[in-house]
Amino acid sequence: MPSNAEVAQRLVEIRQLMEFAGEAYFEFMAYEKAAAAVAQAPPLADVIARGGLEDVPGVGTRIAANIREIVETGSSKKLGELLARYPAGILELLEVPGVGMKTARALFDQLKVASPEDLERAVAEGKLEGFARMGPKTIENIKRGLLARRGRSHRWPIGTALPLAQGIMARLRAAAPVEQIAYAGSLRRGEPSVGDIDIVCTSGEPKDVMKVFTSLPEAAAVLGEGETKASIWNAQGLQVDLRVVPVANWGNLLQHFTGSREHNVQLREMAVKRGLRVSENGILDVATGKNRTFTSEEEVYAALDLPFIPPELRLGSGELDAARRNKLPKLVEAQDLRGDLHMHSSWSDGRNALEEMVAACAAKGYAYHAVSDHSWGRGSKYGMSPEDVRKQIEAIRALGSKHGVRTLCSAEVDILPDGSLDFDDDLLEKLDFVMASVHSARTIGREKMTARLIRAIEHPCVNAVGHPTGRNVPAGTAYEFDAEAVFAAAARTGTALEMNGNPDRLDLPNQLARRAAELGAMLVLDSDAHDVQQLERISYALTQARRAWLEPKHVLNSRTLEDLQAFVDAKRGAHRAAKRKR
């Protein structure tokens, strides 16, 4: 049954379409008043049940009939008639800032513009120039409105937002008088997706910084500009905010704009108990009126008798209590990673040759890495046959130590719907490392998927499960399984669980990775690179691992090559020993 808010929204849609259709002012305004009254009324189901709908202010007999229909069916005859006359996109067009009812009507009647997408095309084709007395300023406002609407309706993957932020910062360093500069907010905390980008910097000439910022190629539109603050939209509608402060406030500003709302609220509550007020402007001693500012975040936390809290932990999920007890984890860092165990070459769906991937891993300073091309379960277009695997093993062995890095023979082997693997045991035993992943039959249900994953985990040759939840960050999808049971099986069998650095995956998510580590499972951080440039994606896996409170001891590829080989041998050896006993 629709909520009051949903019924009110339907009434607003009727009101908008009535005005668009040119109906009488008092007629459509009646629906507007009724929508406001319905939003504030008791639950409509109860009101209707006791026969009190017409007693709601602004709800007469005719509108009450519409409301009953909406409550019962989700729509009404009146709304249906209006939607039959006009495309549904008209309602979205009316949501674009800068597009009023008269403008929308003229656009529809004369240019057949019936949606925001139609309007974007009309703008791009120059059809608005001179239309209905539209001047450059009006057209610019409509462009801004389209960007604003697009930005409000999206969260942007970290893989889109981070390169944009880094590019803008590089341009500002090169062309503006900035001193210190950093991205803050959800991007600095490593959130998988962000609503916007916050950039903060210090400068003695903030006006000059603002001038450069608002003139950047990335600035498709300028939302607002002041002496120390400005906001721009890029062409996709991603908003970027810039703040400039004196160096004396740098630590306070960066701390304030990095912490999540929950982290900052908890920090302020803790400070209040000590007679202090914490804000981006400093730490105020209420009793003395003295406000202290700091040039670093370390000083901000020290002033509250806390150790520095890494940005990735500032989520309000126990980090302040851990800091008070001096129990913060010593988080895994980039220099702890000795290799990357999941990447693809042109033997499957990668874009670089095997030796190019090997050379690129050597250039990164890795001690080892694994080329894990797909098994043929993905189809002959993408995967390797058993014969291909044997040939690739020979090719890797032939390279030897030519590039100064140990290349492990591996494969990303499909986990079939019943939990069996795409290659037979004889072939799997020839590999140095086996990554097993689900790529098909993702909707078999929680119980079957749990059994499927556990069966694969218990296989003696499976050393890690790739992207274990099947997550897609932009789509917000993942398959269902019993995480506790799967993580426990991984811990019991000595099977690692991957934290995949593809920014569209970031799988395992940090919350689940933290729980997996608590249950004793080992994690492995990988790039899932399909070309040499994507090897850098391991940094995204690292960020999520830090958000999961992981230390080097939790991460398989922080181990030496000898220890990695011992991890693989322990599982295979236990299986052989069990077979001998039988």
* 467-500 confidence digits (pLDDT tens): 999 999 888 889 999 999 999 999 999 999 999 9
Residue 415: which H helix or E strand, with range? Answer: none
Domain final residue pick, 118, 152, 186: 152
pLDDT digits (tens, 9 = 90+) for 530-569: 999 999 999 999 999 999 999 999 999 999 999 999 999 9
The length of the chain is 582
Do 538 and 463 reside in the same domain of the chain?
yes
pLDDT digits (tens, 9 = 90+) for 304-336: 999 999 999 999 999 999 999 999 999 999 999
Q: Are 341 and 524 in contact (CB under 8 A)?
A: yes
Give the domain CATH number at 225: 3.30.460.10
Q: What is the mean pLDDT of residues 157-168?
A: 95
Q: What is the mean pLDDT of residues 40-58?
A: 84
**Residue 380 confidence (pLDDT) above 60:** no
Do 238 and 113 reside in the same domain of the chain?
no
> How many angstroms separate the first and last alpha carbons of the chain?
60
pLDDT digits (tens, 9 = 90+) for 434-478: 999 999 999 999 999 999 999 999 999 999 999 999 999 888 889
Residue 72 banded pLDDT, cuts 50, 70, 90: confident
Provide the 3-class DSSP secondary structure of residue 245: strand
- Residue 338, domain member (yes or no): no
Q: What is the mean pLDDT of residues 134-158?
A: 76
Domain final residue pick, 296, 324, 352: 324
Q: Domain span at residue 191?
A: 156-245
β-sheet bridge partners, residue 464: 435, 496
CA distance 234 to 161: 11
pLDDT digits (tens, 9 = 90+) for 269-279: 999 999 999 99
Residue 153 banded pLDDT, cuts 50, 70, 90: low
Of 61-65, 345-349, 402-406, the poorest mean pLDDT is in: 61-65
Do 423 and 571 reside in the same domain of the chain?
yes
Do 230 and 301 reside in the same domain of the chain?
no
Looking at residue 221, its pLDDT comes to 85
- Residue 275, domain member (yes or no): yes
Do 519 and 566 reside in the same domain of the chain?
yes
The residue type found at 124 is A
Do 11 and 111 reside in the same domain of the chain?
yes
- Residue 356, domain member (yes or no): no
Provide the 3-class DSSP secondary structure of residue 134: coil
Listed in sequence order, the residues at least 6 apart from 567 whose beta carbon sits closer than 8 Å to its beta carbon are 463, 494, 496, 522, 556, 559
- Residue 376, domain member (yes or no): no
Do 492 and 431 reside in the same domain of the chain?
yes
Give alpha helix (H) positions in 314-403.
319-324, 354-363, 386-399
Looking at residue 501, its pLDDT comes to 98
Cα 439 to Cα 379, 386, 435, 477, 534, distances in angstroms: 11, 18, 12, 14, 20
Domain final residue pick, 184, 211, 245: 245
Looking at residue 74, its pLDDT comes to 85
How confident is the prediction for the chain on average, in pLDDT?
Answer: 91
Looking at residue 49, its pLDDT comes to 85
CA distance 41 to 273: 40
Beta strands in 383-432 (DSSP E): 406-414
Give the domain CATH number at 534: 3.20.20.140
Looking at residue 135, its pLDDT comes to 77
pLDDT digits (tens, 9 = 90+) for 163-207: 999 999 999 999 999 999 999 999 999 999 998 999 999 999 999
